[in-house]
Amino acid sequence: MMGLLLFVLLAASEIGLVLLTCLKEKGKREWRKNRMLVRMIQVGMAALAYGYPAAQKWRFMPITGLLCVLLLIAILGFVVTKRKPDGRKPIGSVVVSGICSILFIGIFLVPAFVFTGYNGLPVTGKEQVAKISGILTDRSRTDPFEQDGSFREVPVHIFYPETLEENADSLPLVVFSHGAFGYYQSNMSTYMELASNGYVVVSLDHPHHALLTKDTDGNMIFVDQGFLQDVMKINESEDPNDNAEEKQALYQDWMKLRTADIAFVLDTIQETKAAKKIDDTWFLPEEGQETLLSVLEKTDTQSIGLMGHSMGGAAAAALGRERTDISAVIDLDGTMLAEYTEVKDGKFVINDAPYETPILEFVNWDNRNQLQAYLEDPEDYPNTKVMKDAKEGFSVALKDTKHMDFTDLPLLSPFIGKMLGSGKRDNKETMTIVNSLVLEFFDCYLKGEGSFLAQGIY
């Protein structure tokens, strides 16, 4: 609302300036005086808006940025709206200048319309949360998306209790994997809730699967267009067994890449802790190396929790089968693609082996209702098969939710959330329930505190 009000006021001042210039025959000095007055009024309005508490959401859009835009508009106004020989301003150029000014202002204020100013949810833990980021280079793998044979790089972002007063090996480790064309911040409220309660949370980026990330040279890496198109094409398919052979090949490639990324991160963390030194696997600022070693000293790297959203949840579930040091897995609304073992007679075959690791899955309300018959047949849907055969499996559905409601995105931008899939339930309520259950589940299986019971539908 504040963004819209500011835009209306700035646009109105531009329109007023256009009318004043066109309707009044002014001298050059007086025209410049009026224009300067309007610009000063605009700057004052912008400054007042930025000082308003609701405008804190524009923290990434500094006041100096808007001031620069207004200055640019002023300069363009002088250049575009030159006077005729008789001293009058051409009406056409004045109108064009006004329209361009309004467009410039509107484009700059887009974030104010799209984003809410979300700055996290309240946490239940007593610990302040700190963060350290780095990039790990896996010299045993080349990156399949790169053409120069360069090694696979995996950015990691570690959230931990700021006060490290616990004994060695006392802080449980949780690793998070984002969804297709997601990013490491997708579930910041979850990381903060866990870290505030004494967990070390590592959220990693999967380069070329992530919306964007950076490499060790500082270059931006955007989502691979081929990967994006493959995911979109599969999501458009109504019958899960359509082109099953082609889909299975993609599923295997995706899961292989992601589980290798996660396993590499886990192995590196364990090796670094054991060695008590940072080697050249890490790309990390020198001032952060001692901090990292202090964090790892307090981290329990032998009893680990894995979690992820969507494709990240599928990867977490896949690795939960493979590693004996995984003590608990959480799948946030992800189809467990690795459970498809092969294709026979044009249909997927699902893994028959019982799932040994305690696992919690979250299901969006659309899937539960619209695909109920499909979900209830364990021979057709891998998640149902896993939950049916798991030694300790829990499935939770949240009413009136869609796929993106299990991330923070709808809280950051309801507009983008709706485009990608957000239900009518209050997003803050949804993520508060999700984070509460995540903490309770990991407290039970990583800290050995209490027992975990889920009511099924929330």
Over residues 100-127, the pLDDT tens digits come to: 666 766 666 666 556 666 778 999 999 9
- Span(s) in the chain for CATH 3.40.50.1820: 129-446
Residue 155 has a pLDDT of 98
Mean pLDDT of 64-93: 55
Residue 107 has a pLDDT of 62
pLDDT (tens digit per residue) in 330-353: 999 999 999 999 999 889 999 999
Torsion of CA 270, 272, 276, 277, to 10 degrees: 180
Instruction: Give the burial class of 437: count Cβ atoms within 10 A of its Cβ; 0-12 exposed, 13-18 middle, 19 or more buried.
Output: buried
Listed ranges 92-106, 235-249, 390-404; the one with the highest mean pLDDT: 390-404
- CA-CA distance, 92 to 90, in Å (whole number)? 5
For residue 101, the cross-strand partners are none
Residue 82 has a pLDDT of 47
Q: 129-142 and 326-332: which strand pairing? A: unpaired
DSSP character at residue 216: T
**Cβ atoms 178, 400 nearer than 8 A:** no
Q: What is the mean pLDDT of the chain?
A: 84
Listed ranges 9-23, 45-59, 132-146, 231-245; the one with the highest mean pLDDT: 132-146
Residue 150 has a pLDDT of 94
- CA-CA distance, 342 to 245, in Å (whole number)? 8
Residue 62 has a pLDDT of 47
Report the residue count for the chain: 458
More confident of the two residues 374 and 351 = 351
Residue 19 has a pLDDT of 74
Listed ranges 60-74, 115-129, 384-398; the one with the highest mean pLDDT: 384-398
Q: Which of 50-64, 249-263, 380-394 has the lowest mean pLDDT?
A: 50-64
**Residue 376 banded pLDDT, cuts 50, 70, 90:** low
pLDDT (tens digit per residue) in 196-240: 999 999 999 999 999 999 999 999 999 999 999 999 888 887 777
The CATH number assigned to the domain with range 129-446 reads 3.40.50.1820
Report which secondary-structure segment, H or E, holds 39.
helix 28-51
What 3-state class would DSSP assign to 138? strand
DSSP character at residue 260: H
More confident of the two residues 182 and 98 = 182
Report which secondary-structure segment, H or E, holds 135.
strand 129-142
In the predicted structure, residue 71 carries a pLDDT above the cut 80: no
For residue 213, the cross-strand partners are 221
DSSP character at residue 355: P
**Cβ atoms 137, 199 nearer than 8 A:** no
In the block, tokens 């006060």 appear at: 163
Distances 95 to 39, 80, 92 between C-alpha atoms, Å: 17, 10, 5
